[in-house]
Structure 1
């Protein structure tokens, strides 16, 4: 059992708290049982799994599965686990995953519902949007290169495991992604407080790419100009704006609602599975 905070492995894993350490080691942290379960479920490559004796006793099957998949499995003391964690109360296990590309989306020209995010800075917002997009059946999410890192620990935690399931890509040129989508007749929708059309008046049954921008500045003029139309989310008097993750949820679920088959009426059985409710 590792008990020393000066152990080289502990020092190595603590460096993964920072973007520089993740780039240098080409690894990132998975904190908590749920993220480990999701990584194992999709066969994501793991480098190291560190857990406490209490956690091993509680999850013997998961411990065995981690031992088969990870390159290294270590029992650690509670103090060592706390030192590795970025959270205040880690639940007993932390893994590191190799920094390979997440599941890639299809060519933008083949996507029916997508989301493009520009310069999103808050990791909690990005993680929430990834989780919501996965739940609503979004087929691809593109993120501008100047946004928060996809493998930031808080992003991973906020996705509740959907990070491994939603097709995502970091786009060096987000404008090019939008132009490809438009080239095959897809509509590009942005949000604007001054827009005359509400989001529920928009036809989301068409192939649609939703554009969302920075928490404070919104979309850059160059990207906003590519939108075929802007929609507004009505707000009560005195309210300036919504959190970008909430705005994303409203738009993607309105698209999901509009795409429910017309044969689905009250009291009938769904003709296709609906997404699992957010936990």
Structure 2
């Protein structure tokens, strides 16, 4: 049992939680909570850490056993409660934490789509900075049938613990990748039969007047600055979400949700 915060494993978990560079160098990230453990791909789990009190409940021990990580397993570490509390990134720790291997996807895999008919449905995110927004976008995207998310290099780290929590498990199931140039991959999207739509205040068409039943990619910009001019002009179509009152723009995650579910509505039909 781990009883000290000076334990090397504990120190490393803190580094993984706080530093994107550590996550990148090690190819690892951290998830917390029973739900995130239960839904985690078994092969991506490197090690599980449980508090003493977590193991007192039979249902918790059953959960561990169901994925082959019982209390006596080599891949499971028991942590003294006070040490675990300092280790947790949440206000109310659930008593279970996992160190995970990062996922890896290629552009070709994402462009292939994972719908029944293979039609890609993508979200293209430029320089988003809010962890909650990115996590919500992945979760909403999964619900709407998005087949992949492509992000600019300056977008917040998807393995940030706040992003991970906000995805509620969708990070395991929605393919994603970072690119040095969203503008640079637009020709590749066109070759794959994907029409790109820039959500823009100067859009020439209301978002619900377009056909999203074919290959579709929505471009969503930074929370404060919106899409760059280069990406806006590079998109096939500029669309807008009409708004009442004096509202000038919507939250990035909200805009993504509106667009994604309009596409989902059309595709369901």
TM-score for both structures, normalised by structure 1: 0.85
2:90 aligned to 87, 94, 111, which one? 87
Kindly indicate whether residue 10 of structure 2 is the aligned counterpart of residue 10 of structure 1. Answer: yes
Structure 2 gaps of 5+ residues are 114-118
2:79 aligned to 58, 76, 81, which one? 76
2:69 equivalent in structure 1: 67
1:108 equivalent in structure 2: 111
Shift in Å at residue 179 of structure 1? 1.5
1:122 aligned to 120, 130, 133, which one? 130
1:187 aligned to 191, 195, 204, which one? 195
1:275 equivalent in structure 2: none
Pick which of 28-37 and 106-115 moved more: 106-115
Q: What is the CA–CA distance in structure 2 between the aligned matches of 1:236 and 1:71, rounded to whole Å?
A: 58
Tell whether the 8 Å contact from 1:103 to 1:166 is kept in structure 2 after alignment.
no
Pick which of 94-103 and 183-192 moved more: 94-103
Q: What is the CA–CA distance in structure 2 between the aligned matches of 1:135 and 1:172, rounded to whole Å?
A: 27
Q: What is the CA–CA distance in structure 2 between the aligned matches of 1:59 and 1:219, rounded to whole Å?
A: 45
Secondary structure at 2:142 match in 1: helix
- Change in 2 beyond 3 A, CA 1:73/1:107: closer
- Change in 2 beyond 3 A, CA 1:179/1:104: closer
- Change in 2 beyond 3 A, CA 1:134/1:29: same
Q: How do residues 3-42 of structure 1 correspond to structure 2 at under 5 angstroms?
A: 3-17=3-17, 18-39=19-40, 42=41
Shift in Å at residue 54 of structure 1? 2.7
Tell whether the 8 Å contact from 1:27 to 1:96 is kept in structure 2 after alignment.
yes
Tell whether the 8 Å contact from 2:53 to 2:81 is kept in structure 1 after alignment.
no
Secondary structure at 1:131 match in 2: helix
Shift in Å at residue 72 of structure 1? 2.7
Aligned-CA RMSD value: 2.2
- Change in 2 beyond 3 A, CA 1:16/1:184: closer
Shift in Å at residue 161 of structure 1? 0.3
Kindly indicate whether residue 98 of structure 2 is the aligned counterpart of residue 98 of structure 1. Answer: no
How many residue pairs match? The answer is 259
TM-score for both structures, normalised by structure 2: 0.88
